[in-house]
Structure 1
């Protein structure tokens, strides 16, 4: 297959997703804006008189909820309150932030700490946090010390009180899962409002329901590095985004140069340096929160271990490096 061809990934239940989507007097309505340092887009299939202002309000409410609770840059976010907490102090979390943290901790345990939401201080020192640090080298003493001090095993939660114990100078970073959760929160809001055919995308993380007015599926292209040689060599891969979510993780998406070396924002707590031949990993799942977190986890594992993990857990994943793409078995079954 050459770069001029297109590969299509099709969910197994796409026929049920198309039910009721055919409407001659409907059109696709598009809304967009900015959030979390990127852009959001929502496409809704509906009648020409669809109340777009109401839909946009639901979208903005969901985005505000995630930013206000989970942004490292928001002064009154639950994460900032946790960072400021005294040793052995229980910090109350709001429902959405607590829900996301719980899932992040579950995946941290599932991956033996390779995926870990407690590396906020190291991420900040690398230049990707709220302190606006110019960025230290990955192997610098300050970054390595911050990585050594982190670890999800130190976190204790009280589900009934919805609170989290601050063990002492531990930070939380949910950026690898919060954007996917924001997609899910918008999804839940639109479904509750009665919408049945739409797509949501925030900076490459996406989820769709139903199809277009014609009954054709929503098609969404997997993210690609900006390197023209890679783009020209690889065929485009698209997914029929009907009743499924998609997320992509890779250090080419966010990085800067320190001492002539590229430093990526995704931290491997078990590696002595952050270089990996992988360019990105895309994961397709029933919800975007899981897709977002698992994409990061698989990227940090590397292709060989990532494929083993994906196979054991039946994760649909696409691994991209300079040699091309490799599909997990669950993703292979979606290839058209």
Structure 2
């Protein structure tokens, strides 16, 4: 009788815990925001988050940092002569932008807005490419040291300084959505906005989320494909590259990545940089800065840090494509 009870108890436990995985359902939310697409995928016993809640977060960030909204805080700051009072979203991104700018010796600079617009990658269209004098003039308006923070107020030291958070704001968006999902007690999820993503834990079935790393397949940079597949159990992966967003001037390809120190588009060997970090805003900021470095400098920079790993695609002297990666990133590759 005792053995029979033990057997029944074991059978009940197997039934309960064996079917625990099937009690989770996959929920997927998709949409369009910030000029790109987004996907939120989570696993739960019932629907916990809907599209309206995600879109509400997107709108809040746009109202703070979108260069394409006339009434956003960043637009009001950029148009002002002296500065503007910001919200907590803006200040979080601004503080992180300052930190990464300092860490990268100014290669990441959120005051690059005048140069971005000058080269035709801003909200307004241009009729011709800038001349040397226009670039010199714009450089006088660039530099994180041209802004002072007084609590929630950002004060301009020079009236022409303007901010552009496009190199970091999507990462913050991903982090904010991830934080919201955690607040709703969700454990298994993935958030992706415009290719920048965050993964929280493995799937309920024990499998890790697999992420495809894309990149150019030839030296002409006109063909794109999957370079590697990685597994991420928790953390963020973001990518920055110059082979998809550019303008042509005759046969010259002009990158949308502008060097904040010279005022000219990048012409180094970097083609694409993918960064892994604990959060998406950190990864997003560093992938842009690494794009502005030479390969050897970028490898050394990542090796000195414990908070990021990186995979880089670059062009060799003979024009052929090559890649390199940090030791930590190599461990994540499954294909």
Q: TM-score range, shorter-chain basis? A: 0.7 to 0.9
CA contact (8 A) 2:232 2:332 kept: no
CA contact (8 A) 1:28 1:213 kept: no
Work out which of the residue numbers 137, 140, 145 in structure 1 matches 2:137. 145
SS of the residue corresponding to residue 204 of structure 2 reads: coil
Rounded to whole Å, the distance in 1 between the matches of 2:120 and 2:38 is 24
Work out which of the residue numbers 161, 184, 188 in structure 1 matches 2:179. 188
Q: 1:26 to 1:262 in 2, by over 3 A?
A: same
How far apart are 1:227 and its partner, in Å?
5.2
CA contact (8 A) 2:214 2:224 kept: no
How far apart are 1:155 and its partner, in Å?
1.4
2:126 equivalent in structure 1: 133
Aligned length: 309
1:67 equivalent in structure 2: 62
SS of the residue corresponding to residue 43 of structure 1 reads: strand
Matches within 5 A, 1:250-265: 250-265=241-256
Higher mean C-alpha deviation, range 99-108 or range 127-136: 127-136
**Bigger RCO of structures 1 and 2 (CA < 8 A, at least 6 apart):** 1
Matches within 5 A, 1:26-41: 26-41=24-39
1:212 equivalent in structure 2: 203
1:16 equivalent in structure 2: none
Q: 1:106 to 1:33 in 2, by over 3 A?
A: same
How far apart are 1:233 and its partner, in Å?
11
CA contact (8 A) 1:122 1:143 kept: yes
Work out which of the residue numbers 153, 166, 175 in structure 2 matches 1:163. 153
Alignment partner of 1:312 is 2:304: yes
Structure 2's unaligned 5+ residue stretches are 1-17, 316-320
Rounded to whole Å, the distance in 1 between the matches of 2:324 and 2:222 is 16
Deviations along 1:213-259, one digit per CA (max 9) or x if unpaired, are 32111111113237598799987312223211011011123211134
1:79 equivalent in structure 2: 74
Q: Which has the larger radius of gyration?
A: 2
Rounded to whole Å, the distance in 2 between the matches of 1:33 and 1:226 is 29
Q: TM-score, normalised by structure 2?
A: 0.85
Rounded to whole Å, the distance in 2 between the matches of 1:204 and 1:64 is 19
CA contact (8 A) 1:204 1:223 kept: no
Rounded to whole Å, the distance in 1 between the matches of 2:122 and 2:226 is 35
Alignment partner of 1:95 is 2:82: no
Rounded to whole Å, the distance in 2 between the matches of 1:178 and 1:135 is 28
Q: 1:144 to 1:238 in 2, by over 3 A?
A: farther
2:9 equivalent in structure 1: none
Rounded to whole Å, the distance in 2 between the matches of 1:58 and 1:99 is 21
Q: CA RMSD, aligned part only?
A: 2.5
CA contact (8 A) 1:27 1:213 kept: no
How far apart are 1:292 and its partner, in Å?
0.2
How far apart are 1:260 and its partner, in Å?
3.4
Q: TM-score, normalised by structure 1?
A: 0.85
Q: 1:134 to 1:60 in 2, by over 3 A?
A: farther
Q: 1:233 to 1:113 in 2, by over 3 A?
A: closer
